[in-house]
Amino acid sequence: MRTALVIAAVLAAAAGAAAQAPSAVPVRVGGSVETDACSGLGKIAGLRTGGDGFLSVRAAPGVRAAERDRLRNGARVTVCQERGDWLGVVYPRGGDDADCGLSSPRARAANYRGPCRSGWVARRYVRLLAG
Protein backbone atom coordinates (compact mmCIF):
# COMPACT_ATOMS: atom_id res chain seq x y z
CA MET A 1 0.00 0.00 0.00
CA ARG A 2 2.77 2.41 0.95
CA THR A 3 4.61 1.66 -2.31
CA ALA A 4 1.43 2.43 -4.27
CA LEU A 5 1.13 5.80 -2.50
CA VAL A 6 4.74 6.68 -3.25
CA ILE A 7 4.29 5.75 -6.91
CA ALA A 8 1.08 7.81 -7.09
CA ALA A 9 2.86 10.82 -5.57
CA VAL A 10 5.75 10.55 -8.05
CA LEU A 11 3.34 10.26 -10.97
CA ALA A 12 1.33 13.26 -9.76
CA ALA A 13 4.49 15.35 -9.43
CA ALA A 14 5.58 14.35 -12.93
CA ALA A 15 2.17 15.22 -14.34
CA GLY A 16 2.27 18.60 -12.61
CA ALA A 17 5.69 19.34 -14.05
CA ALA A 18 4.50 18.39 -17.53
CA ALA A 19 1.50 20.74 -17.19
CA GLN A 20 3.69 23.76 -16.39
CA ALA A 21 4.39 26.34 -19.07
CA PRO A 22 7.46 25.63 -21.17
CA SER A 23 10.64 27.50 -20.34
CA ALA A 24 11.44 30.66 -22.27
CA VAL A 25 13.12 30.12 -25.63
CA PRO A 26 15.12 33.16 -26.75
CA VAL A 27 14.79 34.30 -30.35
CA ARG A 28 18.08 33.68 -32.17
CA VAL A 29 19.48 36.13 -34.73
CA GLY A 30 22.47 36.08 -37.06
CA GLY A 31 24.64 33.20 -38.12
CA SER A 32 25.65 34.38 -41.59
CA VAL A 33 28.03 36.95 -43.03
CA GLU A 34 26.02 37.08 -46.26
CA THR A 35 22.47 37.88 -45.09
CA ASP A 36 20.82 40.20 -42.59
CA ALA A 37 20.67 39.05 -38.96
CA CYS A 38 16.98 38.28 -39.59
CA SER A 39 15.74 37.85 -43.11
CA GLY A 40 11.98 38.27 -42.97
CA LEU A 41 9.62 41.21 -42.60
CA GLY A 42 6.01 40.58 -41.71
CA LYS A 43 2.78 42.22 -40.67
CA ILE A 44 0.23 40.91 -38.18
CA ALA A 45 -2.97 40.16 -40.09
CA GLY A 46 -6.09 38.03 -39.92
CA LEU A 47 -7.09 38.67 -36.32
CA ARG A 48 -10.87 38.58 -36.02
CA THR A 49 -12.46 41.95 -35.40
CA GLY A 50 -15.09 40.27 -33.22
CA GLY A 51 -12.45 38.37 -31.22
CA ASP A 52 -10.12 39.65 -28.56
CA GLY A 53 -8.29 41.78 -31.15
CA PHE A 54 -4.74 40.87 -30.30
CA LEU A 55 -2.08 38.26 -30.98
CA SER A 56 -0.20 36.98 -27.95
CA VAL A 57 3.57 37.16 -28.08
CA ARG A 58 4.83 34.14 -26.14
CA ALA A 59 8.06 33.42 -24.29
CA ALA A 60 8.43 30.14 -26.19
CA PRO A 61 6.78 28.52 -29.20
CA GLY A 62 3.52 27.07 -27.88
CA VAL A 63 0.14 28.16 -26.53
CA ARG A 64 1.08 27.18 -22.97
CA ALA A 65 4.14 29.45 -22.90
CA ALA A 66 3.85 32.65 -20.86
CA GLU A 67 2.41 35.66 -22.65
CA ARG A 68 4.99 38.48 -22.96
CA ASP A 69 3.11 41.03 -24.99
CA ARG A 70 0.20 41.59 -27.37
CA LEU A 71 0.25 42.76 -30.98
CA ARG A 72 -2.65 44.05 -33.07
CA ASN A 73 -3.46 43.80 -36.79
CA GLY A 74 -1.03 45.91 -38.80
CA ALA A 75 1.90 45.63 -36.37
CA ARG A 76 5.19 45.02 -38.19
CA VAL A 77 7.59 42.32 -37.07
CA THR A 78 10.99 41.07 -38.17
CA VAL A 79 10.93 37.30 -38.60
CA CYS A 80 14.10 35.63 -37.29
CA GLN A 81 13.21 31.98 -36.64
CA GLU A 82 10.69 29.31 -37.54
CA ARG A 83 9.61 26.39 -35.35
CA GLY A 84 6.66 24.52 -36.76
CA ASP A 85 3.59 26.74 -36.48
CA TRP A 86 5.54 29.43 -34.58
CA LEU A 87 7.75 32.31 -35.63
CA GLY A 88 10.45 33.95 -33.53
CA VAL A 89 9.99 37.68 -34.09
CA VAL A 90 11.52 40.99 -33.08
CA TYR A 91 9.44 44.18 -32.99
CA PRO A 92 9.77 47.76 -31.73
CA ARG A 93 8.56 48.72 -28.26
CA GLY A 94 5.25 50.54 -28.28
CA GLY A 95 4.65 50.06 -32.01
CA ASP A 96 7.08 52.77 -33.12
CA ASP A 97 9.40 52.41 -36.12
CA ALA A 98 12.62 52.00 -34.13
CA ASP A 99 15.65 50.34 -35.69
CA CYS A 100 16.00 46.95 -34.01
CA GLY A 101 19.56 46.49 -35.29
CA LEU A 102 18.88 43.49 -37.53
CA SER A 103 19.39 44.83 -41.06
CA SER A 104 23.09 43.95 -41.18
CA PRO A 105 24.77 40.55 -41.15
CA ARG A 106 25.96 39.01 -37.91
CA ALA A 107 28.46 36.22 -38.42
CA ARG A 108 27.75 34.58 -35.09
CA ALA A 109 24.25 33.43 -34.10
CA ALA A 110 23.14 34.76 -30.72
CA ASN A 111 20.06 35.34 -28.59
CA TYR A 112 18.42 38.68 -29.39
CA ARG A 113 19.03 41.15 -26.54
CA GLY A 114 17.44 44.38 -27.72
CA PRO A 115 16.86 47.28 -28.07
CA CYS A 116 13.48 46.01 -29.32
CA ARG A 117 11.24 43.26 -27.94
CA SER A 118 11.21 39.64 -29.05
CA GLY A 119 9.10 36.52 -28.68
CA TRP A 120 7.10 33.86 -30.46
CA VAL A 121 3.84 34.28 -32.39
CA ALA A 122 1.51 31.94 -34.25
CA ARG A 123 2.63 31.76 -37.89
CA ARG A 124 -0.89 31.91 -39.29
CA TYR A 125 -1.30 35.54 -38.19
CA VAL A 126 1.87 36.82 -39.87
CA ARG A 127 1.70 37.90 -43.49
CA LEU A 128 5.21 37.92 -44.93
CA LEU A 129 6.05 41.14 -46.75
CA ALA A 130 9.67 40.31 -47.58
CA GLY A 131 12.11 37.48 -46.99
pLDDT in tens, 83-113: 999 999 999 987 667 789 998 899 999 999 9
Give CA–CA dist 35/87, Å, rounded.
18
Would the pTM count as exceeding 0.75? yes
H or E segment to which residue 4 belongs: helix 2-19
131 pLDDT above the threshold of 80: no
| Domain segments of the chain as ranges | 24-130
Query: Quick one: which of 85, 77, 82, 87 has its CA closest to 117?
Result: 77
Instruction: Tell me the longest C-alpha to C-alpha distance in the chain.
Output: 65
Residue 32, classed as helix, strand or coil, is strand
CATH code given to domain 24-130: 2.30.30.40
pLDDT in tens, 37-74: 998 999 999 998 777 789 999 999 999 999 999 999 99
Give CA–CA dist 108/76, Å, rounded.
25
